[in-house]
């Protein structure tokens, strides 16, 4: 069943909410809030597809709601249409500058409300699709290098602010060139997809970022983690990949496909001031894992 878009209507006048809800209820799931604080609470719990937001409300007004929505990562991209009085040119400009996608004047015309909502939902769906094409690796379905670079920069700042540790795993398939040479590129692609699935299955907390870094290299960015637990999970990942039992006749390490992992943990702002310190440490440890015999994890400590 196709999930219907959910529209959050925010207005301090129940009569206005009722009117707009009647206009939209046959095509969308409708939710409402009678004030700014309630709107923020609902939106942060489960971001709606679109918000129709009254500008003038007692307490937290429409501008404040919009401003706070933009600061919530899960709500930042939700389209917001302001609903305002007829001759509010100044409000219109201010709202658009603050990030509203459109304006509807009061008293709202049902056909206009339906048309604007439909247009902005379509635009949002298109931009989501483009975004996923830009940030997803098509072979494995994981995030791509571009997405990883963006997340690393953001997580570094986030962890720096709260003095949380940030862990990075560099994961590389052992002797993958020999695999490709022996089994061919099509089999090589299938092998990459299977290993990617195993990695994604092992590290799937909401803030974990698992990405294909390039070729046969993958990365896992793990904020706010207990190092010992990550180390255990990374060891389990090595086992899980060899237990996939993907034959690798020409590997110099094992008769099946195996991986090597370089692990690094730093507290941004305390141990280093630059995310490159983390990537180069993980890379060094990956190099050590390779030189110590592959099919293993190296964190540079044990
Ligand atoms: N099938 C396939 N192969 C790829 C892809 N991207 C990179 N490769 C191959 O991955 C191989 C990587 O080889 P190397 O960097 O020498 O690494 P390796 O053979 O795994 O050696 P070690 O890392 O030292 O164990 C090359 O043969 C690339 O052509 C891809 O998308 N599909």
Tokens of 44: 């942060």
- The beta strands (E) that lie in 107-208 are given as 166-173
Task: Give the CA radius of gyration of the chain.
Answer: 25
Kindly report the average pLDDT of the chain as a whole number: 93
Helices (H) and strands (E) in the chain, counts: 10, 10
- Centre of ligand 1 from the C-alpha of residue 274, in Å: 29
- Substitution candidate for ligand 1 out of 171, 176, 190, 258 with most atoms within 8 A of CB: 176
d(CA 134, CA 144): 8
Please tell me the distance from the alpha carbon of residue 52 to that of residue 44, in angstroms, as a whole number.
15
Instruction: Give the pLDDT score at 87.
Output: 62
Mean pLDDT (whole number) for 56-83: 91
Q: How far is CA 83 from CA 9, 23, 72, 214, in A?
A: 10, 14, 22, 47
Peptide bond into 107 cis (omega under 30): yes
User: Which residue out of 139, 177, 181, 194 has the highest number of ligand 1 atoms within 8 Å of its CB and is therefore the one to mutate?
Assistant: 177
Residue with the two structure tokens 């299938």: 190
Mean pLDDT of 135-148: 95
CA distance 211 to 216: 11
Q: What is the pLDDT of residue 1?
A: 54
What does the alpha-carbon distance between residue 234 and residue 15 come to, in Å, rounded to a whole number?
A: 57
Residue with tokens 């992992």: 261
Query: Span 236-260, mean pLDDT?
Result: 97
- From residue 47, give the alpha-carbon distance in Å to each of 21, 132, 145, 254: 18, 18, 27, 48
CB atoms within 10 A of CB 271: 14
Helix (H) or strand (E) holding 135: helix 110-135
Q: How would residue 171 be classed by pLDDT, with cut points 50, 70 and 90?
A: very high
Choice from 182, 195, 212, 216 to test ligand 1 binding pocket (greatest atom count within 8 A of CB): 216
Q: Which residues are catalytic, by number?
A: 216
Return the SS3 of 94: helix
Label residue 2 by pLDDT band (50, 70, 90): low
Which residue did the predictor score with more confidence, 187 or 206?
A: 187
Residues with CB under 6 A from ligand 1: 139, 172-178, 180, 185, 188-189, 192, 215-216, 290
The partner residues of 219 in beta bridges, in order of sequence, read 170, 211
3-state secondary structure of 212: strand
What's the pLDDT at 133? 86
| ipTM of the modeled complex | 0.94
Q: Which CATH superfamily is domain 145-298 in?
A: Reverse transcriptase/Diguanylate cyclase domain (3.30.70.270)
CATH for the stretch 6-132: 3.40.50.2300
Structure tokens at 93: 């400009």
Question: How far is the C-alpha of 169 from the C-alpha of 286, rounded, in Å?
Answer: 9
What is the pTM assigned to this prediction? Answer: 0.73
Tens digit of each residue's pLDDT (9 = 90 or more) over 99-121: 999 999 888 899 999 999 999 99
Ligand 1 closest atom vs CA 191: 1
- Number of the ligand 1 atom closest to the C-alpha atom of 253: 25
Find the mean pLDDT for residues 51-68: 93
Instruction: Provide the token pair at 34.
Output: 């009678």
Query: What is the CA(158)–ligand 1 centre distance, in A?
Result: 33
Grade residue 89 by pLDDT with cuts at 50, 70 and 90: confident
Q: Residue 300 — very low, low, confident or very high, per pLDDT cuts 50/70/90?
A: confident
Kindly indicate the confidence band of residue 141, based on its pLDDT and cuts at 50, 70 and 90.
Answer: very high
Q: How many CA atoms lie within 13 A of 186 on its CB side?
A: 0
Which ligand 1 atom lies nearest to the CA of residue 189?
Answer: 1
Compute φ and ψ for 138, nearest 5 degrees: -70, -30
Contacts of 178 (CB under 8 A, 6+ apart): 248, 250, 251, 252
Domain boundaries, the chain: 6-132, 145-298
The pLDDT of residue 86 = 56
Residue 301 or 255, more confident: 255
Per-residue model confidence (pLDDT) at position 92: 80
| CA gap 277, 244 in Å, rounded | 33
Whether the per-residue pLDDT at 157 is higher than 90: the answer is yes
Please report the beta strands in 85-242, taking only residues with DSSP state E, as ranges in sequence order. Answer: 102-105, 166-173, 209-214, 217-223
Which strands form 209-214's sheet, in the order they lie side by side? Answer: 209-214, 217-223, 166-173, 259-266, 297-298
């Amino acid at each position: 069943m196709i999930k219907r878009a959910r529209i959050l209507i925010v207005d301090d006048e129940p009569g206005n909410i009722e009117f707009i809800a009647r206009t939209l209820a046959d095509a969308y799931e409708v939710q409402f809030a009678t004030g700014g604080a309630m709107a923020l609470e609902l939106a942060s719990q489960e971001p709606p597809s679109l918000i129709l937001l009254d500008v003038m409300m007692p307490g937290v007004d429409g501008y404040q709601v919009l401003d706070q929505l933009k600061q919530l990562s899960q709500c930042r991209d939700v389209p917001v249409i302001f609903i305002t009085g007829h001759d509010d040119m100044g409000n219109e400009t201010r709202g658009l500058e603050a990030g509203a996608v459109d304006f509807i004047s009061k008293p709202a015309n049902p056909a206009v409300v339906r048309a604007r909502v439909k247009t902005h939902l379509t635009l949002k769906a298109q931009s989501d699709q483009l975004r996923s094409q830009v940030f997803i690796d098509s072979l494995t379905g994981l995030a791509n290098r571009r997405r990883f670079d963006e997340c690393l920069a953001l997580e570094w700042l986030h962890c720096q602010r709260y003095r949380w540790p940030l862990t990075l795993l560099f994961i590389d398939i052992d002797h993958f060139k020999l695999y490709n040479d022996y089994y061919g590129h099509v089999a090589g692609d299938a092998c990459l997809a299977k290993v990617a699935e195993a990695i994604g299955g092992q590290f799937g907390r909401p803030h974990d970022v698992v990405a294909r870094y390039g070729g046969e290299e993958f990365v896992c960015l793990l904020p706010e983690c207990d190092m010992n637990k990550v180390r255990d999970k990374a060891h389990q990942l090595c086992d899980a990949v060899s237990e996939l039992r993907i034959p690798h006749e020409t590997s110099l390490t094992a008769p099946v496909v195996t991986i090597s992992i370089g692990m690094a943990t730093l507290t941004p702002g305390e141990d280093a001031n630059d995310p490159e310190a983390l990537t180069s440490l993980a890379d060094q440890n990956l190099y050590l894992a390779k030189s110590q015999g592959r099919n293993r994890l190296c964190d540079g400590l044990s």
